Structure formats: C-alpha cells, structure tokens
Copies of this chain bind each other. A is one copy, B any other.
Amino acid sequence: MAQRRYLLDEDAIPRNWYNVAADLPSMPPPPLNPGTGQPIGPDDLSPIFPMGLIQQEVSAERWIPIPDPVRAIYSMWRPTPLYRALGLEAALGTTCKIFYKYEGVSPSGSHKTNTSVPQAFYNREEGVTRLATETGAGQWGSALSFACRLFEMECKVYMVRASYDQKPYRRSMIRTWGAEVVASPSPDTHAGRDILEADPASTGSLGIAISEAVEDAATRDDTKYALGSVLNHVLLHQTIVGMEAREQLAMAGADPDVLVGCVGGGSNFAGLVFPFLADKAAGKDIRIVAAEPAACPTLTRGHYGYDFGDTAKTAPLLAMHTLGHGFVPPAIHSGGLRYHGMAPLVSHLVHTGLVEARAYKQSECFAEAVRFARAEGIIPAPEPSHALRAVVEEVERAREEGVEKTILFNLCGHGNFDMAAYDAYLSGEMVDTELPQAELDIAAAELEGLPALP
C-alpha cells in the first residue's frame, strides 16, 4: 500500500534553527522606536524581552543552536509527521501530489509551542519568573501557558474578548496548565481601562491585548512579554517545521513545486517556507503562496509602511503590511489570522515578489476543511483551512495547465476547539465578510504622519 506518513526519530529534531536573514537578497527596513522614530537597539527592547531573544531578533547568523532543554521538550511531540494526502488527492481526483506537515500533534494542538517553549526557556535562564502575553483565538495563550508550566513560571494571558466569550474551552486549557486568563480589554491595565471607558462593549483586538500585555511586562520587575508571531525570533523558532519537512520529503522522493501556508502574523507560514527560500532566491522554480482571510486582508489590501505593533502605540513601529493599529476585526470571523499587521520578514517577501498573497472568504475555506476532514480524518483548525483553499486552487490550476505538481502545505493545527464554527458552517449560518473600503480609509488616516519607509 502507498505510504501515507513520514516519521522521523527524536534524533532528527533539528539541532539549529534556520535564520533566513543570512540568505535573503535584502532585509526589511528596521523597527523604529515608537517615541523617537529612530531604529531601535537592544536597550529599547530589554524592558520587555530577555537578551537571549533580542540577540536572535537581530542575528545575521545562518544557524542558531537549539538549547538541549528545549530539544528535550520538543521531543514530547517533535518531529511531527509529514503526511501524503492520499485521501484528499482521491477526493479531488488529481494526479498532483499533496503533502502536509501536521503541527496539530503538539500538546496545545498547533505550531505555537515551537516558539513558546524557547521563549519561556530564555526568559527563565535570565531569571524572569512571570510572562505576560495576548491571545486571539487562544492557540498562542494555551501554548505559552503550557511552556510556562514546564519551566515553573507564572503566566498571564490577555485574551481578546470576542474569543474569550466564544471559545471557553481554550480558556479551560490555559487554566489546566495553571495560567491566569482575563478578557481583553480588561480593567487590569491602563490600556484596557482606556478602551473600556470609550467603549464598555468592546470585543477587543490583538492590538489592544498586546498593549495590555506589554504594559503588564513593562511595569513589573518579575515579568517580561512574549509574542506569538510577527517578530524575527518567533519566525526563527518555527523554522524547524520546514527543516523537518525537507528531510521527510526527501524520504518520500518528492520535491515541492508549490508551498502554501496561512498567514495571520506570519509565523506558521514562515516556519514552513523559510527553509526552502534560499533555493527560490537562487532561482529554483518554486511558487510560495500566503493565504489570508478576506475579513482581515493584511497582505492583499493593507498599506505597506511603518505602523505600530499595538493599539496603544507602545510597541515598536514595524515595516509591514497593515490595516491600521486601530483595526478591530469583525466578531463573526471565526478563526485567528486577525492581526492588523504582518511579520516584517513576510511583508518584505511579498513586497519583493518572492511570495504571493491571496485572500479567501471563510465559508469557502470551511467547505475545504469539511472535504479534508472527510477524506483525511483530521479536522483542521479554521486558520489552515485558508491554506487548504489555496491548495485546491493550485490543484485546479495544474489540471487546467495539464501538469502534475507537488504541493506542500502546513496544517498548523487541529480544529477540536473550533467545532462551533463547523456547526455554523454545516447549518448554513456562517456569514462571510469582506473588509469595507471605509475601514481602509480609516487606516490610511491613522498612518498619516508616521515615518515613511526608506
């Protein structure tokens, strides 16, 4: 029978993360201090991040060693399986080969633990005993609470109000691992109180929750801040996904023509594709596709320029595609992928043409998620269902062109905590939204007066 799963032993867990900065033709413009507008240095970041992570953020070294204690924890679920999607190929009636890297086998059910564990580790090494963070759909908050538990640290999670109300079981998971979780905007911070004063019914946003967590970290000596996506060091930690996938594809005798990932802040996408990017930059014929929601179309419709990472304008100015730091996604949008900005590295790659971006409506993504669940067994999280939609487009394109492609995508998490969204889809009650132009006009106004890209 045809082989379906490609497994690696614990010994095959990579010993280094791969830093794409070493191989890119050009780098994105640097982050700026939100107060002075000057490029930030390590001292600007040290109140909220440990030096071990700051060094990774600015490193130009190609390989950055993974500490042994982190590898030991990775071995709880890594290496993750690479699957040949035999069931989906049959359901689509395609001669394309479809592979997926499955990150849903991690304790919290997504790729997020790949970075929460090293982030907790480097903080603990420098004597930090408590971390503060934000979470949207809850995948990052649960991943960080898991990591903090392993290193015997406290953890406080500011969870976007819309998700806090809609996803009680992600909250329970965070509590099971011993962390504290509050709805954001919360009365616990100045940033939260300001928002609540202006709008007591605010459903929150990642931008707001980041402001709360950063304030928490900046105002307590025992606490630092942890971010689940966007920054260079976070994307760096995720590169183990693509490195393992390369090895597993070699076992399968396959060479990918197309790579696909979904994007919110960009980390699972970057984790899969960065280890293939040097080949592409050197001229190899690989298409790389980033799939995002039409309700939060950062890459396809956002402004490319400097913007604040958070709503309260306390986080650095980043060079990125953005919908404006005041952006509040529609509460009916079911999955994650709703940050107003994007990882500067990913924005830069889209800007320079190495990566294509596409936006999809949530119901067309759920249609693919249900087809996938029925063909492959695994129920995908809403986020990678955007990648699935792009994969099926690639299959259709290959059929039209009469070619056979090898496609690899990142199934970055399972949907066990998203069944309410499946219910809405199956009951015909799922509503699609596209971002109104008026929102983009508001964003453009917000960005006026901010530094221009060099």
Contacts and interface: CB of A to CB of B under 8 A. Distances in A.
Nearest to A1: B72
Contacts of A24: none
Given A105-B105, A378-B107, A416-B109, A7 B9 contact: yes
A173 B419 contact: yes
A71 B5 CA distance: 13
A169 interface: yes
**Chain copies in the assembly?**
2
Nearest to A11: B3
A422 B377 contact: no
Contacts of A374: 149, 176-178
A281 interface: no
A374 B178 CA distance: 8
A298 to B, nearest CB: 29
A285 interface: no
Interface in A172-212: 172-173, 175-178
A423 interface: yes
Interface string A1-26: 11111010110000000000000000
A1 B66 CA distance: 13
Nearest to A416: B416
A452 interface: no
Contacts of A420: 168-169, 172
A95 interface: no
Given A4-B76, A173-B419, 18 more contacts: A2-B72, A3-B10, A5-B75, A5-B76, A7-B7, A76-B87, A107-B377, A107-B378, A107-B379, A168-B419, A168-B423, A169-B169, A169-B419, A172-B420, A172-B423, A175-B426, A176-B373, A176-B422
30 contacts: A1-B10, A1-B68, A3-B10, A4-B72, A4-B75, A4-B76, A5-B75, A7-B7, A7-B9, A76-B376, A77-B377, A146-B377, A168-B419, A168-B423, A169-B169, A169-B420, A172-B422, A172-B423, A172-B426, A173-B379, A175-B423, A175-B426, A176-B370, A176-B373, A176-B374, A176-B379, A176-B422, A176-B426, A177-B373, A177-B374
